[in-house]
Amino acid sequence: MAGIIVSACIVACATPADPSGDTVSVSSDASADVAVLPPNDIDAAEADDTSAADAAMPCSSDGWCKTTLPGTNIYVKDVVPFEKRAFAMMNSAYIGLTIGEWTPNTGWTLLKGVQPHLPPYFFGGRLWAPDEDTVYFTVSDLSGFLGDSFGTVVVRGRRPVPPATEWTWASGKVSCDLYMLGAAVGGSEDGNVYVAGCGKIYRLDKSAAAGAASDGGADAGAETLQWIDEGFVDVDQASPIDFFDIGGTGPDDLWFAGGRVLDGFGSTGQSPCAILVHKTADGYRTVLDGIPLASGCSPRDDLPMVPGRLSQGIFNPSKNRVLAATEAVDENGKNVLLNVGLSGDQIRVATTRPPQSMATATLGSVWGTSEDDLFVIATYDYASSGERSALIRGQSIWGDSPSYDNSRLAINGVPSSNPLYRVRGTSSQNLWAVGQYNVYHKSTP
């Protein structure tokens, strides 16, 4: 039986019963005395008074520069960065849902040819790019409301091979009987691509018979992506897993993150429980799970339990390690930062949260240069100004001397009133934060 060590840094996140007999330790919130001003106060106190020449540069005092989007009122849900390139999932009433590509020379441009591969009604999922010439993204297919089937549609794009000039696209669908909000795609350097949806995990069939040609030639756009069921078995079909993200450090360290809810699917369920499934060469292992009950999330078997789905994406700072923010599970919008690590059969779970001065923030996407240097999206809901987001930088937050600060987005003292959805990067000098109507790029430490 696997050992479990749970360190809960806030009272709101209950620790599971531990049938294994291992000690369950509960510590106080080490960050409670760290003072951090909400972003509105900081923006007001430190408005930029630089020269007109500097003001012309759309950058904040902390080096976050607002890039120019290829249109107006564009929602940017996800981003995948490389050193000199980035891809983003974009959506608006004018452009529909498509993929944008950014380079220092061209800025943002839209990739053509995506629309024919999308169902009539859908909800945007995740974006993943194994290299600079290939992108995958998912949408949750809502066709079940029209008498067809629900499911996850995966779309792949490949950069043209000269003399071709347009990207080629292929797609495939994993069907299910229930509406599931999550739709995750990811993979590793061994060339395998995975999609997690409908409570199952699938791998892309790369055989010639499946039509998954690898040359990216002219016929690639006519392909239908075929998926092989990996055989992962969900132990609770009454409250099936909704997967939201896939991450990891390699083929022997892949993580599938999501959650379960009671009496509902998509965004309508109650008592959400976090789910983490880990894949190694030996197969699949469930690391976090819970039973959604009317009274809240309850422990399942000998596994640690954490309330709140993992719908905001995950970050893998090293092998056998996952960091994420749970979904808020109370009326105040409070949630926690989660740190899950594996050491042999032992599962270590720690949670924490920024101090009380940030209690009004709902934590979201997490990325960092390490587990001790993190950027976290924090969304504030102010009745007077509407919802807006900040980027919180947390350093050494899992130790006895945590440090939190705001990484300022306000340009010339003017904050954005629009929320952020995702933060990702490749280093401290190549960070991206995307959201409603905005994409910020940070190229300085």
Query: What does the pLDDT read at residue 270?
Result: 72
CA of residue 443 relative to chain centroid, distance:
21
* Short-list 295, 259, 274, CA closest to 349: 274
3-state secondary structure of 228: strand
Query: What does the pLDDT read at residue 211?
Result: 56
* Short-list 160, 157, 171, 176, CA closest to 118: 171
Q: Buried b / exposed e across 203-232, counting CB within 10 Å, b at 16+?
A: ebbeeeebbbeeebeeebbebebebeebeb
Place of tokens 């029209």: 146
pLDDT per residue rounded down to tens, the chain (445 residues):
445 444 444 323 332 333 232 222 222 233 322 223 333 333 333 333 333 323 345 899 999 999 999 999 999 999 999 999 999 999 999 999 999 999 999 999 999 999 999 999 999 999 999 999 999 999 999 999 999 999 999 999 999 999 999 999 999 999 988 888 889 999 998 899 999 998 999 999 998 666 544 433 334 446 899 999 999 999 988 888 999 999 999 999 999 999 998 865 555 567 889 999 999 999 999 999 999 998 889 999 899 999 999 999 999 999 999 999 998 876 666 789 999 999 999 999 999 988 876 667 889 999 999 999 999 999 887 644 444 888 999 999 999 999 999 898 988 888 888 999 999 999 999 999 999 999 999 999 8
Give residue 418's identity as a one-letter amino acid code: N
Give the Cα separation of 104 and 81 in Å (integer): 12
**Count of Cβ atoms closer than 10 Å to residue 73 Cβ:** 12
Which residues partner with 176 through β-bridges?
A: 150
CA of residue 3 relative to chain centroid, distance:
28
User: For residues 114 and 95, is the Cβ–Cβ distance under 8 A?
Assistant: no
3-state secondary structure of 385: coil
The H or E element spanning position 45 is helix 39-45
Query: What does the pLDDT read at residue 177?
Result: 86
Query: What does the pLDDT read at residue 51?
Result: 30
Q: Specify the pTM.
A: 0.85
Query: What does the pLDDT read at residue 106?
Result: 95
* Short-list 374, 297, 362, CA closest to 336: 362
